[in-house]
Amino acid sequence: MNMEHMIRAVAGAFILLSLLLGLIHSPYWFVFTAFVGVNLLQSAFTKWCLMETILSKLGVEKEC
């Protein structure tokens, strides 16, 4: 799995997990959902993604 696919998978998992936790545990988890959404939106305009930086430091390859 290349970095682009991992970023999409992590973002999707974070959103689904935070929505589930927001419904079951506390509505404050929706703040995390908003944080992920804002990061996705800003990365579309700035071409910089925090998760890309984290994954590259973990040694994930950018391309297959």
Q: From the first residue on, what is the mean pLDDT of each consecutive set of 10 residues in the chain (64 residues)?
A: 90 96 96 94 93 90 74
Q: What is the pLDDT of residue 48?
A: 93
50: tokens are 């925090």
Return d(Cα 51, Cα 10) in angstroms, integer: 8
d(CA 18, CA 30): 6
pLDDT of 63 reads 75
User: Which residue has tokens 């390859």?
Assistant: 61
Whether residue 60 contacts residue 3, with contact meaning beta carbons closer than 8 Å, is answered with yes
